[in-house]
Amino acid sequence: MSPPLYNLHNHTPFSDGAYSIDELCEAHLSCTAVKFAGLGISDHLFCTPSSREIRNERDFQRTFAAETRDYVESVHAARRRWEGKFHVFCGCEINWPLNRNHLELIRGLLNGIDYVLFAYVDWAGLTQLANQARRWPCPIGLARTDVARQFPHTSLDQVVRTMANARIFYEVSVALLPLGEHERWFSILPNHRVALSLGTDTHDDLSCLEQVPELVRYLERHRLADRYFQPRLRSAESGDALAPQKTHAV
């Protein structure tokens, strides 16, 4: 049986996306090219669009704690609206260079967030993340990363081992198409336990969904179809993972 497919990289007007969560759910459900079991919202958090500068920790907390709570609330409300019809996960995307000095604060603000996608991580960043991966309250992954380009002085083998040991997942993004250009990376992945997520980085163009089958077929050909990252729902209150949804009695 094939695993459930989720597109875990979508933006909404909460950050810089054009479509509401409901519109994204409808678009995924009506997509004939691939059968999605759900989606993840991954809006940019912890980056202020205002010209205001964040001066200190208290300022950071004050600026982003309320914003993050509002975000989680709106995604969880959508999750409830779609319950039984479509899974809605609550992720977020974090810009590494902008936030690398605030990681401890950020970890305390992730109640109700199911996973974090990091963008623009360099090698020093990946090793830093790997060292603290287990301290994060939810799984963390690398968004739309061209490994050979982003870590030019590190062997692919070292990258993959670092990610596998720290259980950092890797996003297979439509931004990397054609994946054949990254053949070396995808050829070593089957030998290491790195989970893979699918991502379109949807902003204002839903046609990106039609490119997902190409990703899926490529992963199947590379014996990676059993590697899909399966997020778990985390409640906003305790930050704990929720119990799995009940299935039919047998």
* Minimum separation from the CB atom of position 237 to Zn ion (A): 27
* Minimum separation from the CB atom of position 70 to Zn ion (A): 19
The maximal CA–CA distance of the chain, rounded, in angstroms, is 58
Number of neighbouring beta carbons within 10 Å of residue 188: 16
Report the residue number, 100 or 222, with the smaller CB distance to Zn ion: 100
The residue of the chain with the least Cβ separation from Zn ion equals 201
> How many amino acids of this chain bind Zn ion (CB under 5 A)?
2
Report the residue number, 47 or 242, with the smaller CB distance to Zn ion: 47
Of 43, 93, 114, 171, the one binding Zn ion (CB under 5 A) is 93
Using CB under 5 A as the binding rule, the residues of this chain from 157 to 216 that contact Zn ion are 201
Encode 18-56: b = buried (16+ Cβ within 10 Å), e = exposed.
ebebeebbebbeebeebebebbbbbbbbbeeeeeeebee
Report the residue number, 10 or 162, with the smaller CB distance to Zn ion: 10
Question: HSE-up of 113 (CA within 13 Å, CB side)?
Answer: 28
Report the residue number, 199 or 245, with the smaller CB distance to Zn ion: 199
Report the residue number, 121 or 226, with the smaller CB distance to Zn ion: 121
Angle of helix 57-82 relative to helix 21-29, nearest 10 degrees, comes to 40
Peptide bond into 178 cis (omega under 30): yes
Report the residue number, 114 or 201, with the smaller CB distance to Zn ion: 201
Find, among 95, 154, 91, 102, the residue nearest to 121 by Cα: 95
Q: Tell me the CA distances in angstroms from 34 to 9, 19, 186, 216, one per residue in order.
A: 16, 20, 21, 9
Report the residue number, 17 or 38, with the smaller CB distance to Zn ion: 17
The residue range among 57-65, 71-79, 87-95, 216-224 that interacts with Zn ion, by the rule CB under 5 A, is 87-95
Angle ∠(42,47,52) on CA atoms, nearest 5: 155
* Minimum separation from the CB atom of position 27 to Zn ion (A): 16
Does residue 43 bind Zn ion (CB under 5 A)? no
Q: What are phi and psi of 145, to 5 degrees?
A: -105, 120
The residue range among 47-55, 68-76, 92-100, 164-172 that interacts with Zn ion, by the rule CB under 5 A, is 92-100
| Residues paired with 173 in a beta bridge | 199
* Minimum separation from the CB atom of position 197 to Zn ion (A): 12
* Minimum separation from the CB atom of position 125 to Zn ion (A): 17
* Minimum separation from the CB atom of position 244 to Zn ion (A): 28
Encode 233-248: b = buried (16+ Cβ within 10 Å), e = exposed.
bbeeeeeeeeeeeeee
* Minimum separation from the CB atom of position 43 to Zn ion (A): 8
Contacts with Zn ion by CB under 5 A lie at: 93, 201
